[in-house]
Amino acid sequence: MVRAAVDAGVTRMITMGVDLEHSQKGLELAHQHTEVFAGIGHYPTETSAPDVEAMRRLASDERVVAIGEVGLDFQDTPGPPRDAQIQRLDTLFSLAVEMDLPVSIHNRAAATEVAAAIKAHPGLRGAMHYFALEWDWAERFLELGFFLSFAGLVTRPSRNALREVVKRCPPDRLLLETDSPYGNAHNRMGVPNRPAYLLDTATLVAQLRGINLDELAKIERDNALALFRKMT
Ligand SMILES: [Zn+2]
């Protein structure tokens, strides 16, 4: 899978963790492949609270470049109550600032609360993962210093407002992701998503922004290295 991605031109990947077990597995993968880096995360709908001590231990590894995925999900029920999610996110944001690592943020139906949480943590930096909102929210997160990370969703013909965001996003804040095995591009519905399929999204994003793939690749590389500073 990593080989196929590299062959397709995806030369660096971050595998985000959703709980301790998967964060650990992602980290093992990152030690097996020079192209793969890891995020240590705790998904907002996890029933148990994050083990911050264990996360801190894992995150100190040289192959860990982010705290993620973390965030708020007020739509996917049954999840922990909103208050509990907000409290956990506060702890996880503090960990990210303490370790000087960027966060990858999952936000579903909680943009107001996510923005407030970011604001409460000066020095926090990161990416809005799987960005799916319209320009007014894009602008808000850009103002907070965040990057917008776009996935296969932008390739779906119905997503005109999101395509507008792709066009207007400042070049130094634009990131791409697959969210694989989820987040399929329009032409790959029904098959598990793969890192190599990032090219589906990249091709459309380059087209929307009126640049070629090589130019987009340079932007992506520069942005990813600027945000995920431990990535080499
Ligand atoms: Zn997510």
pLDDT one-digit tens code per residue, 34-65:
999 999 999 999 999 999 999 999 999 999 99
Kindly state the average pLDDT of the residues 116-131. Answer: 98
216 vs 107: CA distance, rounded Å: 26
Q: Separation of 70 CA from ligand 1 center, angstroms?
A: 8
CA–centroid distance, 43 to ligand 1, in Å, is 8
Please tell me the distance between residue 76's alpha carbon and the centre of ligand 1 in angstroms: 11
Beta strand residue intervals within the chain, DSSP E: 13-15, 36-40, 64-73, 103-108, 126-128, 147-150, 174-176
Q: In Å, what is the CA distance from 47 to each residue of 79, 80, 84, 148?
A: 7, 6, 10, 28
Confidence of residue 112 (pLDDT cuts 50, 70, 90): very high
pLDDT of residue 130: 97
Cα of 184 vs centre of ligand 1, distance in Å, is 13
Q: What is the DSSP string of 39-95?
A: EE---TT-SSPP-HHHHHHHHTSTTEEEEEEEEEESSSSS-S-HHHHHHHHHHHHHH
pLDDT at 210 over 80: yes
Using the mean position of ligand 1's atoms as its centre, give its distance from the Cα of residue 23 in Å.
Answer: 14
Q: Please tell me the predicted confidence (pLDDT) of residue 94.
A: 98
Q: Distance, CA 97 to ligand 1 centroid (Å)?
A: 21
Instruction: Say if residues 99 and 229 touch (Cβ distance below 8 Å).
Output: no
- If you measure from the C-alpha of residue 42 to the centroid of ligand 1, how many angstroms do you get, rounded to a whole number? 11
* pLDDT of 216: 98
> What pTM was computed for the model?
0.97
Do the beta carbons of residue 50 and residue 22 sit within 8 Å?
A: no
CA–centroid distance, residue 118 to ligand 1 (Å): 17
How do residues 150-198 score in pLDDT, each as one tens digit? 999 999 999 999 999 999 999 999 999 999 998 988 988 889 999 999 9
Cα(69) to centroid of ligand 1, in Å? 7
pLDDT value for 77: 77
> Mean of the pLDDT values across residues 123-144?
98
Q: What are the backbone dihedrals phi and psi of residue 44, each rounded to the nearest 5 degrees, phi first?
A: -60, -25
Q: Rounded to the nearest whole angstrom, what is the distance from the C-alpha of residue 178 to the centroid of ligand 1?
A: 11
Centroid of ligand 1 to alpha carbon of 106 (angstroms):
4
Tell me the C-alpha to C-alpha distance, in Å, between residue 164 and each of 59, 137, 158, 228. 35, 12, 12, 26
φ and ψ at residue 212, rounded to 5 degrees: -95, 170
